[in-house]
Amino acid sequence: MIFSNSPRVSYRERSQKMSKRKNASPEELAKKRVKFPVTLAKSYEPDKQDVFDGNWAFSLKLDGVRAFWDVDKKQLLSRNNKEFVIPTFFYDMLCDIGLPLDGEIFGGRGNFSKTISVSRKQRNMDPQEWKENLTFQVFDVIDTKNDYTTRMSIINNKITKEHDFIKIVPQTIIKDSSFDLFGKLDKFVDEGEEGLMLRRVTDVYSHSRSNGLLKMKKFYDQEMTITGFLAGKGKNKGVMGAVEVKDAEGNTCAVGSGFSDSQRENPPFKIGDTITVKYFERCKKDKNGNISYRFPTFLKMKDELEG
């Protein structure tokens, strides 16, 4: 028998709680589901998401501390709903703007540690440290009625150049597939940036992890040895679906993207051949000690690299 020190709840009390849950509004339910009412990003998967339809914009992915200005409580909150102790000059700016701003406290490229140490001081907060080391970079306003284009217009009308501490993160429209998005990514990463953020400008603000906000990091590539073939399913039924590969360290994965129809019908490689696989990142080892690759995609055969 299991004993519990928890107080017993009557049937009536349980019924009342259930009734409250059923009658709760979508807004109330959303607040219960999330610790922090901001849009969270998913990872960009090129083979699944089309960002070249004219409805997307990109900006730099900042390596800062996510923060939200609660315009009603007049508090700057962290993602975990903890209040930042902020300087008076910053507080006055936020109150003057009067919008529920979504952004990041940012200390500049490569200064994440400094950003953390200055912004999270609960005691002995130094306004001069904030002025000298940080800015508040705004990329959205929490508004579930207007699309992103309208929201950015609202932000630009409210945040002027006079607010030198509060900056608007520039957004660039991706017009169509002729736009060299991957070239931009490579350029910025080579300059020391972390990556890009992609936003669907037709979306209203979402209090959840959204398909309309994507983080895009640089592709890496690595040579791997083919160890097997997997039959295709669905639209690839009857042809090659994926190849099983192994890297130099012995880590294995299946590569099912990046192949042309002709390559699937008549694979130009065999077991033991070397191919180059591009991927977003290597993940932690699993219980079997195998490091996995996120979104592995076929890039080239070895002879193509050497030619």
- Could you read off the pLDDT tens digit of each residue along the chain, which spans 307 residues? 222 333 444 445 544 554 454 555 555 544 444 444 789 899 888 878 899 999 999 999 998 999 999 999 999 998 778 899 999 999 999 999 999 999 999 999 888 889 989 999 988 999 999 999 999 999 999 999 999 999 999 999 999 877 789 999 999 999 998 898 988 998 998 888 889 999 999 999 998 889 999 999 877 788 999 999 999 999 999 999 999 999 999 999 999 988 989 999 999 999 999 999 988 778 777 777 788 887 888 988 865 433 3
pLDDT of amino acid 24: 56
Q: How many helices (H) and strands (E) does the chain have?
A: 9, 17
First to last CA, the chain: 73
153: helix, coil or strand?
helix
pLDDT of amino acid 5: 35
User: With b meaning 16 or more CB within 10 Å and e meaning fewer, what string describes 218-235?
Assistant: bbeebebbbeebeebeee
All structural domains of the chain with their residue ranges:
40-216, 220-306
In terms of pTM, does the model score above 0.75?
no
pLDDT of amino acid 1: 27
C-alpha 40/C-alpha 149 separation (Å) is 18
284: helix, coil or strand?
strand
pLDDT of amino acid 163: 78
Distances (CA, A) of 183 to 42, 186, 190, 212: 21, 5, 11, 22
Report yes or no: 301 and 269 within 8 Å, Cβ to Cβ. Answer: yes
CATH of span 40-216: 3.30.470.30
Q: Per CATH, is 220-306 categorized as 3.30.300.30?
A: no
The 3-state secondary structure of 113-152 reads: HHHHHHHCCCCCCCHHHHHHHCEEEEEEECCCCCEHHHHH
The residues, any chain, with a CB within 8 Å of residue 82's CB and separated by 6 or more, are none
